[in-house]
Amino acid sequence: MIPKTFSEIIDLGDGREIKLETGKLAKQAHGSVVVQMGNAMLLCTVVSSYKESTMDFFPLTVDYREKFAAAGRYPGGFFKREARPSDGEVLTMRIVDRVLRPLFPDGYRTETQVMIQLMSHDEEVMPDALAGLAASAAIQLSDIPFETAISEARVGRINGEFIINPSRSQLKESDIDMIIGASMDSVMMVEGEMKEISEEEMAEAIQFAHKHIKKQVEAQLRLAEAFGKKPVREFAVAEDNEDFKKRVRDLAYDKIYEIAKGGHSKRDRGEAFSAVKDEVLALFSEEELEENEKLIKTYFYAVEKEAVRELTLAEGLRLDGRKTDEIRPIWCETDYLPSVHGSAIFTRGETQALATVTLGTSREANTIDMPTHQGEETFYLHYNFPPFCTGEAYPIRGTSRREIGHGNLAQRALKGMIPESNPYTVRVVSEVLESNGSSSMATVCAGTMAMMDAGIKMTKPVSGIAMGLISDGDRHAVLSDILGDEDHLGDMDFKVTGTADGITACQMDIKVKGLPYEILVKALQQARAGRLHILEKLTDTIATPNETVKAHAPKIITRRIPNEFIGALIGPGGKVIQELQKTTGTEIVINEDPVTEEGIVEILGTKQEGIDKVLAKIDSVTFKPEKGSVYEVTVVKVLDFGAVVEYNDAPGNEVLLHISELAWERTENVADVVKLGDVMDVKYFGVDPRTKKPKVSRKALLSKPERSPKKEDEDTKS
Binding-site positions for Mg(2+): 487, 493
Neighbours of 108 (CB within 10 A): 20
Q: How far, CA to CA in Å, does 200 sit from each of 196, 493, 528?
A: 12, 19, 12
What residues have CB less than 8 Å from 339, skipping those under 6 apart? 552
Whether the Cβ atoms of residue 188 and residue 132 lie closer than 8 Å to each other: no
What residues have CB less than 8 Å from 518, skipping those under 6 apart? none
Q: Give the torsion sign (CA, 401, 407, 409, 412).
A: negative
DSSP one-letter code for 317 = B
CA angle 391, 394, 397 (to 5 degrees): 130
Specify the length of the chain in residues: 718
- Rounded to whole angstroms, the Cα distance separating 141 from 422 reads 51
Amino acid code (one letter) for 275: A
Whether the Cβ atoms of residue 69 and residue 86 lie closer than 8 Å to each other: no
- Rounded to whole angstroms, the Cα distance separating 620 from 206 reads 58
Task: Report the SS3 class of residue 267.
Answer: helix
Residue 293: which of 226, 344, 350, 248 has the closest Cα?
248
Q: Give the torsion sign (CA, 392, 393, 395, 399).
A: positive
- Rounded to whole angstroms, the Cα distance separating 603 from 587 reads 6
- Rounded to whole angstroms, the Cα distance separating 343 from 542 reads 12
Whether the Cβ atoms of residue 410 and residue 444 lie closer than 8 Å to each other: yes
Query: Which positions make up the binding site?
Result: 487, 493
Question: Do β-strands 630-639 and 694-697 pair in parallel, antiparallel, or remain unpaired?
Answer: unpaired
- Rounded to whole angstroms, the Cα distance separating 230 from 585 reads 71
CA 430 to chain centre: 13
Strands (DSSP E) contained in 121-250 are 151-158, 161-164, 176-182, 187-197
- Rounded to whole angstroms, the Cα distance separating 705 from 134 reads 93
- Rounded to whole angstroms, the Cα distance separating 635 from 383 reads 60
Neighbours of 267 (CB within 10 A): 11
DSSP one-letter code for 423 = -
